[in-house]
Amino acid sequence: MTLGTLGVQAIWGFGSIVGVEMVRDIYHVVSHLWGPLQWLHNWHHRAYKRDFTLVSPVLYARAQLYNDVPESLVMMGVMGTIALATGIPGLWLGAVYSAGFLVAAIGRSQGWLLNTDITHEPGPLTAIPSRWFVNRSYHWKHHFDNVNANYGGYFTILDRILGTALSLKNKTVAVTGASGSMGQALLHELRRNGSKPVALTTSPDATFAEGVKVLAWRPGHETELADALRRVDILIINHGVNVHRDRSAAAIATSLEVNATSALALMDAFMAGIDTPTGRATKEIWVNTSEAEVGPAFSPLYEISKRLLGDLVTLKRRGAPCIIRKIVLGPFKSNLNPVGVMSASWVARLVVALAKRDVRNIIVTINPLTYLTFPLKEATQSLYFRLFSAR
């Protein structure tokens, strides 16, 4: 076998491992939907307390026998069948990889191995959910946040495809700028996805849909919301002001406070309340920074203040105790921009759909350049902050 052939088989081997992990995740999804497998899989969920300590060694052993052993056999069977059918030697690596899971599951079912795998290690959650590979915080959400989400066992690929990487069901989600076009659209879309929306507004007399809790606030008084924010799972910072051509001292002060410093203060107040053992797994901040981060908005103070906000959010992501998403929007129709070409409801649907697929930088615009320039700007700036700022 030549060196080139070995390289090709190595690629097939790596692909087989990814493929067999996808088989495991699909089996997991089916285990939550199909009665016979659901009965077997429930043993796995019954084996753990909320801190991932074992309920009992006996229950853990049965969970391994009834759930993990058949799961491993399915993984081996599927990949072995594909390897036989195609005659590609590299695919057997996936079958061998699956055999490792089978041996471990049998050992644990007999009490020979009491240690669980790394995604079920007991103790407090010290990291936020990871993006591409499943960590303890990510998998904790599947067990104790919503069993019908976060199915991934090692890779998060299937959850991203299905839109199950983030569950909004029964989440308390607070939205600033709630009386505006985008705020109203987000509240509607969040409610449609099973959330409990909260309107944070400087216009408490505005009309909101039935069932939306309304909290009044104004820039400069963010700390007054500290107690309320402790009960919020996701904070969406969506408010803003556009003074257009005005460049007076008052316009500068207003733009900086509303578009930048008030958002930063809200983030700090929210993150100060993430002090529970599981807060790092479930709490999130979404910040509408605007396409003005990387392109002209034909409003100098709007651009300056929104770029400042974008830079601060990138900096705050370093070591943050929760996921921080950026929402980068192009021109949508609103009171701030009556000539916008996108509808707020359509944008809100896309924002929520992408968040459920764990997109951390959510871009919705008609400008194709933004899809190129923003990721480049964010990557280089993140690297700069990593090199020249303390953690």
Q: How far apart are CA 97 and CA 282, in angstroms?
A: 32
List the end-to-end C-alpha distance of the chain, in Å, as a whole number.
49
Q: What is the dihedral of CA 238, 244, 250, 253, to 10 degrees?
A: 40
Structure-block tokens of residue 224: 């007054």
Q: What is the DSSP string of 219-244?
A: TT-GGGGHHHHHT-SEEEE------T
Q: What is the DSSP string of 67-132?
A: IIHHHHHHHHHHHHHHHHHHT-GGGHHHHHHHHHHHHHHHHHHTTS-----GGG--S---SPPPSS
Distance of CA 193 to the CA centre of its chain: 15
Q: Is 302 part of the annotated catalytic residue set?
A: yes
CA proximity to 188, closest of 343, 298, 379, 314? 343
87 phi-psi bin (left φ>0, alpha ψ -120 to 50, beta other): left
152 contact partners, CB below 8 Å, separation of at least 6: 25, 134, 138, 139, 158, 159, 165
Question: Annotated catalytic residue: which of 27, 138, 302, 384?
Answer: 302
The answer to whether the CB of 271 falls within 8 A of the CB of 229 is no
- Contacts of 252-257 with CB under 8 Å at 24 or more apart are 252/301, 255/301, 255/302, 255/304, 255/305, 256/305, 256/308, 257/219, 257/220
**Burial zone of 380 (CB within 10 Å; 0-12 exposed, 13-18 middle, 19+ buried):** exposed
Distance of CA 191 to the CA centre of its chain: 18
- Residues annotated catalytic, as ranges: 302
